[in-house]
Structure 1
Amino acid sequence: MSTDELSLRLQVVTEELAVADDELAAQQREIDELIAREVDTRRTASAVVRSVPVPVLVTDAAGAIIEANLAAATLFGVPAARLVRKPVQALVPAGARPIVRDLVSGARNVDSTGATLEVTPRAGLPRTVRVVITTGARWLDSRPVLTWVLEDVTLPLSDDDADPAVLQALATLAALPVGDLSRHQLLTRLAGLAAGAVPGASWSSVVLGDPTEPTELAADSEEAQRIDGAQWRSGQGPAVAAHREGVPVRSTDLRQDGRWPVLAGPAGQTPVRSALAVPIRAQDPTVVPAVRGVLTVYGPEPGAFETARHVDRVLVFAEAASALLHDLDRIAELRATAENLTVAMRSRAGIEQAKGLVAGWLECSVEEAFQVLTHLSQHRNVKLRDLAALAVADPSRHDLRPVLAGALDRVRAQRDAAHEGSSS
């Protein structure tokens, strides 16, 4: 081969590898976009915020709104999208703005703070609200993000006097750092918040899957773990029934409940008497099964959960658990896609390098070099990326070149035979 021919062949190889580099760069941009989407998911309010049935605002450290849920939009009479980027100070009368500024400033230094203040809806009379602000570090640069949970005092959460503990629990719930903690940690935190927000409850748990064959258990206490285990072993109980029937199930006294006689004995060995179990439904109505798990609260006194108010309270946390699982699934899917693309890109990069090396060694085209590598991969039962890595790792090794040359001869012979067959 003349010098001019060799130069031309090398130029072709270089151009083909440049095209491959462009394709790899496009894949890298796709990976970067996926990672950016995950970052965006973690920076903004999660589906948990949208699931909470009271007004919630998420702001930056200066009080500028990042996200608002439907209840907040309803309170202020402004579409949620139009609340974004507004300062919270703009939603209150001029006389209340110093209070808001103090709240924003104080929230930077404590985990939680609160106050009662007046807000001005777009239409209608000013309303008095109780607000609890929880500080989180959802931003990846650790700048604080403030979660504001508001309660219209004229529309309390329950039919009795508003309970500040419930508001605090909801504020903490809305500020859970989705993406920063594991699924188990988040569900355990949620269970603890539910136990603190439901009157009469002392313990709580979240069971994913069928309680008789759970895929994951998250409990806030040993007591909840023990009674969950008793239901798993006996195959009966409120959590089992709630999962199978898809409706809330309560028990006045687990030790004397005739529906589950096998559970009575084990329940008597725990301090748990009453229970209320609520199914956790999938966010997507097309998902099967529709019930993903069960949230159960337990109390030490018989008949602790007899009113509709108790069911409503637990339903709030069950819906939050559903939203939380939806967020976690989305983040896990983004991460898995990014990781798979990264692995594929690395393999592709190695293969492209190997194609260039083999083309140079055998003085053949890049297409033939790829056919050679593919031929060896198939006939020696070696993954193509592993074969490419072997060539790239030690370009100076000479024992590989005769093998590659022999493979090139076979590839060309097969091609010529195929060509002759088609010609005849």
Structure 2
Amino acid sequence: MTVQWREYAEQMALLARNLLAQESVQATLDEIATSAVRLVEGCDAAGILAVRKGRAVTLAACGDMVHESDRLQAEYGEGPCFDLARRKDGERVYRIADMREPQPTWQRFAAAARTLGVGSMTGVLLYTENDDFGALNLYGRRPGAFSKDIETAGWLLASHAAVALDSARTIDQLEHAMETRHAIGEAIGILRERHKLSEDDAFDVLRRISQHHNVKLRDVAQRVRTDRTDPA
């Protein structure tokens, strides 16, 4: 292993700890994009793009050109980030060494990207065994900013990022579930005290209101806690 790769591996270890220390899923996404610009040589901007129900969604961005690039790909329905995020052709990585060269697959996007000042691009899918989180896309202003080694470097970064995202989402879901449980428990206590109900009957009141009004049970419980009003 060369000194350069050893230093990069050390940076990846620090990145992994930093990502796991973030307080939310969005903070983790933002830190991934920021870290890509900081750690990857030649990277002037970075973003994470996902495709939700056929629509391109920018999950995080570091650099002005990211939002505009994502917007163009959504408008044209083509582009390397867009295709990678929706797993077209099963690809997990792409690299455009020189945006000035013909790009038959993405002609309209390539022409527009050049006007944005994009000289080269590369991207890696953020995925774990069970989930895809979107594509991590790196932008260089000069052609040739990313060498062949970027595929390995990007894969290492994306692997750490995907694991951190999976962990952040799991923690977020657990915290949400705990908050929901706490809100419902407190609302049940309020109804029991106010109407002299059993625990089961108080919960049944919340459940029936939730179903009748097509409102989430947690929201009904939160209304009881906040307003201290009769949910009926």
| Category of TM-score, reference length = shorter chain | 0.7 to 0.9
Alpha-carbon distance in structure 2 between the residues aligned to 1:239 and 1:211: 16
CA RMSD of aligned residues (A): 3.5
Q: State the secondary structure of the residue aligned to 1:293.
A: strand
Counterpart of 2:217 in structure 1 is: none
Deviation at 1:301, TM superposition (A): 2.4
Answer whether contact 1:209 1:292 (CA < 8 A) is retained.
Answer: no
Counterpart of 2:106 in structure 1 is: 260
Counterpart of 1:323 in structure 2 is: 163
| Cα pair distance change 1:296/1:180, threshold 3 Å | closer
Counterpart of 1:337 in structure 2 is: 177
Alpha-carbon distance in structure 2 between the residues aligned to 1:313 and 1:390: 57
Alpha-carbon distance in structure 1 between the residues aligned to 2:54 and 2:74: 4
Counterpart of 2:95 in structure 1 is: 250
Answer whether contact 1:278 1:314 (CA < 8 A) is retained.
Answer: yes
Deviation at 1:175, TM superposition (A): 3.0
**What one-letter code is carried by the residue in structure 1 that aligns with 2:78?**
Q
Does 2:134 correspond to 1:293? yes
Q: For residues 39-96 of structure 1, what are the alpha-carbon distances to aligned partners after superposition, in whole Å with 9 as ceiling and x for unaligned?
A: xxxxxxxxxxxxxxxxxxxxxxxxxxxxxxxxxxxxxxxxxxxxxxxxxxxxxxxxxx
Q: Which residue of 31, 40, 65 maps to 1:189?
A: 31
User: TM-score, structure 2 length as denominator?
Assistant: 0.74
Deviation at 1:216, TM superposition (A): 3.9
**What one-letter code is carried by the residue in structure 1 that aligns with 2:47?**
S
Deviation at 1:167, TM superposition (A): 5.1
Answer whether contact 2:12 2:156 (CA < 8 A) is retained.
Answer: no
Counterpart of 2:192 in structure 1 is: 352
Alpha-carbon distance in structure 2 between the residues aligned to 1:220 and 1:276: 15
Answer whether contact 1:166 1:196 (CA < 8 A) is retained.
Answer: no
Answer whether contact 1:278 1:296 (CA < 8 A) is retained.
Answer: yes
| Cα pair distance change 1:258/1:180, threshold 3 Å | closer
Aligned-residue sequence identity (percent) comes to 20
| Cα pair distance change 1:275/1:226, threshold 3 Å | same
Counterpart of 2:18 in structure 1 is: 176
Does 2:49 correspond to 1:204? no
Q: Which residue of 280, 287, 290 maps to 2:126?
A: 280
Q: State the secondary structure of the residue aligned to 1:297.
A: strand
Answer whether contact 1:197 1:313 (CA < 8 A) is retained.
Answer: no
Q: For residues 357-393 of structure 1, what are the alpha-carbon distances to aligned partners after superposition, in whole Å with 9 as ceiling and x for unaligned?
A: x8xxxxxxx79xx69x97xx99xx898996xx668xx
Deviation at 1:234, TM superposition (A): 1.8
Deviation at 1:284, TM superposition (A): 4.2
| Cα pair distance change 1:211/1:311, threshold 3 Å | farther
Alpha-carbon distance in structure 2 between the residues aligned to 1:211 and 1:267: 24
Does 2:70 correspond to 1:225? no
Q: For residues 206-257 of structure 1, what are the alpha-carbon distances to aligned partners after superposition, in whole Å with 9 as ceiling and x for unaligned?
A: 1133596234431111123332322222221211222223321111233432
Q: For residues 326-383 of structure 1, what are the alpha-carbon distances to aligned partners after superposition, in whole Å with 9 as ceiling and x for unaligned?
A: 1121111111111111112112212332454x8xxxxxxx79xx69x97xx99xx898
Answer whether contact 1:276 1:297 (CA < 8 A) is retained.
Answer: yes
Alpha-carbon distance in structure 2 between the residues aligned to 1:230 and 1:254: 15
Q: State the secondary structure of the residue aligned to 2:4.
A: coil
Higher RCO by CA contacts (8 Å cutoff, separation 6 or greater): 2
Q: Which residue of 235, 249, 265 maps to 2:77?
A: 235
Structure 2: which 5+ residue stretches go unaligned? 214-219
Answer whether contact 1:279 1:318 (CA < 8 A) is retained.
Answer: yes
Deviation at 1:170, TM superposition (A): 2.3
Q: State the secondary structure of the residue aligned to 1:260.
A: helix
Alpha-carbon distance in structure 1 between the residues aligned to 2:229 and 2:114: 65
Answer whether contact 2:24 2:172 (CA < 8 A) is retained.
Answer: no
Deviation at 1:187, TM superposition (A): 1.8
Answer whether contact 1:272 1:298 (CA < 8 A) is retained.
Answer: yes
Structure number with higher helix proportion: 2
| Cα pair distance change 1:228/1:165, threshold 3 Å | farther
Answer whether contact 1:252 1:305 (CA < 8 A) is retained.
Answer: yes
| Cα pair distance change 1:231/1:390, threshold 3 Å | closer
**What one-letter code is carried by the residue in structure 1 that aligns with 2:172?**
A
Q: State the secondary structure of the residue aligned to 1:200.
A: coil
Deviation at 1:265, TM superposition (A): 2.5
Q: For residues 387-414 of structure 1, what are the alpha-carbon distances to aligned partners after superposition, in whole Å with 9 as ceiling and x for unaligned?
A: xx668xxxxxxxxxxxxxxxxxxxxxxx
Answer whether contact 1:212 1:240 (CA < 8 A) is retained.
Answer: no
Deviation at 1:272, TM superposition (A): 1.0
